[in-house]
Structure 1
Amino acid sequence: MFLHHFGAYLLLLKAVFKRPEKAKIYWKETMAAMVDIGLGSLGLIVIISTFIGAVMTMQIAFQLVSDLIPNSIIGQINRDSNILELGPTISALVLMGKVGSSISSQIGSMRVTEQIDALEIMGINAPGYLIQPKIIAGLLMIPALVIIAIGCAIVGGLIGGSLSGAVTAADYIMGITENFNGFTVTVAMVKAFVFGFIITSIPAYKGFYVSGGALEVGQASTQSVVIGCISILAADYLITALML
């Protein structure tokens, strides 16, 4: 069963990246998908990331109670944790629930109402027209959202640490500025690009091949989120093992 679905997934991707019939139409669809994925998820990412950064700062301060450890290390740990893991992975899991379920339900609804069949009858490459703009938008916007998430988490850590008294603003800023390794940002961006592809392609596959009615569309949307989250965690492990 796994090999069957994996093979169908690869064949769908092959059809998705065929040369478009009319580039102008694809460009408009890509811009619309970028607005939907990027701007539509911005507020959620900002709120979640800010609170995660604030909570992480307080938890790190609670665990590092020692006169031998400088308070600036709290900012350093929070920075590296958010860049390497919390920023990309938590954002991807949240976006899989929001963006992934939306993509799956949109395409699935078009399938059960025979709109995809109508596109194919008219000679339009339905996988390319419906899925390619969403994948391109995901590859462009999700890394941008991850960068924003990392920035908000670091700022949230500063605000949370200052308000709770866990660490002073000066110590926190010293921690996030010293001993910075730029390679961690490279790892985060690689994760973001891979996660962006997973978030858009797996739900699109589940929605494209759904059959039945509204109940099956809902089930496909749920399955796409579950499979996508597992795929994100597996990809996170592989990228970390290969790059670090």
Structure 2
Amino acid sequence: MIKTVASLGAAAEFNLDRFGLFTRFCLTTANWAVRWMVGRSRLYLLMPQFYAIGTRSIPVVMLVGLFVGAVLGVEAFDQFEAIGQESRLGGIIGISVLRQIGPVLAAVMIAGRVGGAISAELGSMKVTEQIDAIRVMGADPIDYLVVPRVIACLIMVPILTVFSNLMGVYGGHLVCVNALGVDSREYWDFSARFIGNWDVFTGLGKALIFGLAIGLIACYKGFHCGSGAQGVGRAATDAFVTSFIAIIVLNFFLAKFFKDIYVILFGHGGPTAFMG
């Protein structure tokens, strides 16, 4: 019993220590990011990250979005046809993609394709002492390595979410209209009626927070990886797993937050997809 309590205490102390390290890492990154905004331009550091994180991720994000929208159409059609409401599938698919599925899936894909790569890259630099060399040269590695990657994730994940959303809505249209016989005009009419500016804002707001979480977690794991190839591989895996968990947990709290904000601003029970 005493050993069990001692092991639980040691585990709690270890996790609390890790949380403190991560908090300090985030605050240091935020400090350097503010200096970026008030100081000179660093586009020469940002542009390669925009390309690696954003441009190279567009095809996979669009492909995933297309098939997710198509699957939603296939799965929901029978239930809506049974009550004679298959024409409303456009609105339902649009709401589902824009508010929930689009931002989450885009973020998960970026966490898997980019988060692990960032962690492995920075972990390799740590193992080969390149990060120490940057410090020796009088530069701060967080300023030079972390901030551009975090900013790139913060900016590019919402942009990639737009691509995912567009392809999700189009994928639903492709299946519902061409394969299941839903009228194309009704599909787009109900999409326009059901989807509001708040739905777009909610999805992009979530994507912004997801991008920040992915960038910070991936860079932290890379900076604190173990020694050798095994440590780098474990850091890359931990970066994806932790980012995935963070996305799912954040999605719940952000959904509640945006719903409460809607009630405060507009004074009724929250946005709904089924409007007339």
TM-score (norm 1): 0.94
Partner of 1:208: 223
Q: CA contact under 8 A between 1:34 and 1:137: conserved in structure 2?
A: yes
Deviations 1:160-213 (A, max 9, x none): 212322523223112211233221111111101100001111010000011311
Contact 1:107 1:204 in 2 (8 A): yes
User: Corresponding residue for 1:238?
Assistant: 253
Q: Is it true that 1:171 corresponds to 2:175 in the alignment?
A: no
Computed over aligned residues only, the root mean square deviation of the Cα atoms, in angstroms, reads 1.5
Question: Where do 1:1-244 residues align within 5 Å?
Answer: 1-16=14-29, 17-18=31-32, 19=35, 23-24=40-41, 26-66=42-82, 68-244=83-259
How big is the shift at 1:139? 1.1
Deviation track 1:214-239 (CA, whole Å, cap 9, x = no partner) reads 11100111011111100010100000
Distance 2:243 2:16 in 1: 17
Counterpart of 1:119, as a letter, is I
Answer yes or no: is the 8 Å Cα contact 2:225–2:231 preserved in 1.
Answer: yes
Q: Unaligned stretches of 5+ in structure 1?
A: none
CA distance in 1, matches of 2:118, 2:152: 12
CA distance in structure 2 between the partners assigned to 1:167 and 1:7 by the alignment: 54
Cα contact 1:61–1:166 (8 A) shared by 2 = no
CA distance in 1, matches of 2:222, 2:78: 45
Residue range with higher mean Cα deviation, 98-107 or 11-20: 11-20
Identity in percent: 29
With CA pairs under 8 Å and 6+ residues apart, which has the higher RCO, 1 or 2?
1
Specify the code of the residue in structure 2 equivalent to 1:107: L
**Residue 210 of structure 1: SS of its match in structure 2?**
coil
Whether the aligned pair in 2 keeps the contact of 1:75 and 1:176 (CA below 8 Å) is yes
How far has the Cα of 1:58 moved from its partner? Answer: 1.3
* Inter-partner Cα distance in structure 2 for 1:91 and 1:216: 27
Opposite residue 77 of structure 1, the aligned amino acid is I
Distance 1:38 1:180 in 2: 26
> How big is the shift at 1:44?
0.4
For residue 65 of structure 1, give the secondary structure of its aligned residue in structure 2. helix
Equivalent pair of 1:93/1:229 in contact (CA under 8 Å)? yes
Q: Render the CA deviation track for 1:115-138: whole Å, top value 9, x for unaligned.
A: 001001111111111010011111
Q: Is the 8 A contact 1:52 1:156 kept in 2?
A: yes
Whole-Å separation in 2 of the counterparts to 1:119 and 1:63: 60
- Count, aligned residues: 241
TM-score in terms of structure 2 length: 0.83
Q: Distance in 2 between matches of 1:65 and 1:152?
A: 24
Give the partner amino acid of 2:208.
Answer: F
CA shift in 2, pair 1:226/1:35, >3 Å = same
Q: CA deviation at 1:13?
A: 2.2
**Quick check: 1:119–1:126 contact (8 Å CA) kept in 2?**
yes
Structure 1 CA distance for aligned equivalents of residues 73 and 181 of structure 2: 8
One-letter code aligned to 2:21: A
